[in-house]
A = this chain, B = another copy of it.
Amino acid sequence: MKTAIGIDIGGTKISIALGNEKGKILSECLIPTRTGTQTRQSVRELIRNIKKLLEKYPAPKYKNLGIGAGLPGPVDPHKGTVPVSPHLGGWQGIPLRKILEKETGLPAVLANDANAAAVGEKFFGQGRGVSDFIYMTVSTGIGGGIVVNRRLLEGAGFVAGEVGHMTIVPDGDPCKCGKRGCLEAYASGTAIAGYVERQLRRGTKSILGKLKSKERVTAQIVGLAARRRDRLAIQAYERAGFYLGIGIANLLNILNPEKIILGGGVLKSSPSGFWSSMRASCKRDAWPEAIEAVKIVRSHLKGNSGNLGALALVFDKGS
């Protein structure tokens, strides 16, 4: 059986999985992400756990083709170093690909996590058999990956697919990236929570106003309130859906793909108003030919899409 190791390196935890070429995870483990002065220790722990997984599934029955790793930020796959990311202080510049290859004797490939997830969709999900599609993850932030002619578009500076940072409102709301008016500042989980907080401060009535000050408003909690027909909560999701629809319409007019595949936590907690609002503004702003040609679908990958994406990077390299 052909297998690969997929690693999803996030700001708080690292998920390590061994799976086969059908996208079935055979075994996985989670370790905390240690940063700063503890980074070296964290890398050692990562290597140790990879080795353990490899020992558990030995040749000749299991033929491990390599190791894939998804990381936040723009990843140069040729350099194979960890990119600058606010979530991974201390990791920046670590030659992770070389370390993985030297320690395991296997080929390794690094990629941006949302790009990896797009490759995961191509191999295991809604992207199978689709020539041109865009994967978008709507979560704390908004990321993406673009597949053209069955190939991931990396971009000349390895930042292709940063769909969350298209400007949707010139000089608009501030975004975590330092710019203003990004799609992420209007349609991400952070944006939904931020909008509710601003409205609460302005005195808008809502069951969310009853949260104790210790409890932070999150998109998930707003989603629960929306299900209980809280007006502000519904409005917050509809607003996010409105802007997301415009962002998708822009992608349709520019790239005219066969599919838009949506993933990420915000979709899980979103009420129906989010979807209808998204579809309405998308239909309004996209060309009829582009709307007619596209299927806008949700990712149906179960489990950790980060791991599946990282696994797929290995199989993609071999294909």
Show the binding face of A for B, using Cβ within 8 Å. 74, 132, 146, 148-149, 151, 153-163, 165-170, 177, 179, 181, 242-243, 246, 249-251, 253-258, 281, 284-285, 287, 289-290, 292-294
Is A293 a contact partner of B256 (Cβ separation < 8 A)?
Answer: no
Taking the closest CB of chain B, its distance from the CB of A75, in whole angstroms, is 11
Copies in the complex: 2
Contact check: which of B153, B165, B293 meets A287 at CB < 8 Å? Answer: B165
| Top 7 A-B residue pairs of the complex, sorted by shortest distance between their CB atoms | A155-B256, A157-B293, A156-B293, A157-B289, A160-B256, A166-B250, A156-B258
Q: Which residues of B contact A250 (CB under 8 A)?
A: 166-167, 250
Known: A153-B148, A250-B167. A159 touches B287 (CB 8 A): yes
**A132-B153, A155-B290, A170-B243 provided; 19 other pairs, C-beta below 8 A?**
A74-B287, A74-B289, A148-B148, A149-B149, A153-B256, A154-B256, A155-B256, A156-B256, A157-B293, A157-B294, A159-B256, A159-B290, A163-B253, A163-B254, A165-B287, A166-B249, A167-B249, A167-B285, A179-B284
Among B162, B181, B254, the residue within 8 A (CB) of A146 is B254
CB pair B246–A157 under 8 Å, yes or no, is: no
Q: Look across to chain B and name the residue whose beta carbon is closest to the beta carbon of A295.
A: B156
- Please measure, in the bound complex, the distance between the C-alpha atom of A284 and the C-alpha atom of B180, giving whole angstroms: 9
Which B residues touch A148, using CB under 8 A? 148-149, 153
| Contact across chains for A157 and B285 when beta carbons are under 8 A apart | no
Assuming the A-B contacts A149-B148, A156-B258, are A162 and B287 also in contact, with contact meaning beta carbons closer than 8 angstroms in the complex?
yes
Q: Which residues of B contact A181 (CB under 8 A)?
A: 285
Residues of B within 8 A of A253 (CB): 159, 162-163, 165-166
- Are A294 and B165 touching (Cβ within 8 A)? no
User: How far is it, in angstroms, between the C-alpha of A225 and the C-alpha of B243 when the chains are bound?
Assistant: 38
A86 to B70 Cα, complex, angstroms: 48
Across the interface, which residues of B come within 8 angstroms of A290, CB to CB? 155-157, 159, 162
User: Known contacts being A170-B246, A253-B165, is A292 close to B157, with CB within 8 Å?
Assistant: yes
Expressed in whole angstroms, the Cα–Cα distance for A163 and B249 within the complex equals 11
